[in-house]
Chains A and B, each alone.
Chain A
Amino acid sequence: DIQMTQSPSSLSASVGDRVTITCRASQSISTSLNWYQQKPGKAPKLLIYAASNLQSGVPSRFSGSGSGTDFTLTISSLQPEDFATYYCQQSYSTPGTFGQGTKVEIK
């Protein structure tokens, strides 16, 4: 299985801050990398697919970049509704493993 490692595991930030979350794959996965947002008690929500494509309806303050083994999710200006846990997922090969998650908390 391909292992996905996110960093940091958690972070505290203020509204308006620029936030960056990284995800590293244990082997090259090209751009087969997706990002999801999950709020407590809710299903994950797709934010970014194929590393850098913004899902329809997702605010443009979210962006993704990277290829190969290193990927980044950036929130350009953190909003109150963005406090949640974020997961990366590789879809290069099955099983489509997820990172352990990054919890974004209010500072």
Chain B
Amino acid sequence: QVQLQESGPGLVKPSQTLSLTCTVSGDSISSGSYYWAWVRQPAGKGLEWIGRIYTSGSTNYNPSLTSRVTISIDTSKNQFSLKLSSVTAADTAVYYCARGLWFGTRDYFDYWGQGTLVTVSS
């Protein structure tokens, strides 16, 4: 059974960089037709796709965040990470990591982490 677990500071000051790590267990992060993604959800609101990374290191980012976001992967540790710079209160949200799976030419998130709340406040 694949499991994903987010970790990182729950409180970040405005203008600083939010850093989160997702640890994958139950399978190798390098195996299969997968990608690894971050999704966030402000309190009481909907889901926002942040970006994804393949084990090759190839990335796709949400254009609304691309100037501030970096996703990286460490296959030796079975982890991938999110960095979001110059944060403001608008970045306060629950951050989820997820596994993306390709089904032919279609893809979807089949496993999700439990989510971690990050609050941006001084």
Cβ-based interface call for A87 (8 A): yes
* Contact indicator per residue, chain A 56-100, by CB within 8 Å of chain B (1) or not (0): 000000000000000000000000000000010101001111111
Instruction: Pick the residue among B48, B104, B105, B109 that contacts A44 (CB under 8 A).
Output: B109
Q: Determine, out of B12-20, B21-29, B78-86, B110-118, the stretch whose residues face the partner at the interface.
A: B110-118
Among residues of A, the one whose C-beta sits closest to the C-beta of B4 is A43
Instruction: Pick the residue among A1, A32, A43 that contacts B114 (CB under 8 A).
Output: A43
Task: Classify the interface of chain B: helix, strand, loop or mixed.
Answer: strand
Known contacts A1-B63, A95-B62, A95-B63, A46 near B46 by CB under 8 Å: no
User: Which residues of B are found within 8 Å of A3, using beta-carbon distances?
Assistant: none
Task: Classify the interface of chain A: helix, strand, loop or mixed.
Answer: loop
B49 touches A98 (CB 8 A): yes
* Contact indicator per residue, chain A 23-62, by CB within 8 Å of chain B (1) or not (0): 0000000011010100000111110011001010000000
Q: Give the size category of A's interface with B.
A: 20 to 34
Complex interface residues of chain B between 41 and 72 (CB less than 8 A to chain A): 46-49, 51-52, 60-64
B47 touches A49 (CB 8 A): no
* Contact indicator per residue, chain B 80-105, by CB within 8 Å of chain A (1) or not (0): 00000000000000001000000111
User: Which residues of A are found within 8 Å of B47, using beta-carbon distances?
Assistant: 36, 44, 87, 89, 98, 101
User: Which residues of A are found within 8 Å of B77, using beta-carbon distances?
Assistant: none
Among residues of A, the one whose C-beta sits closest to the C-beta of B59 is A94
B113 touches A43 (CB 8 A): yes
Among residues of B, the one whose C-beta sits closest to the C-beta of A98 is B47
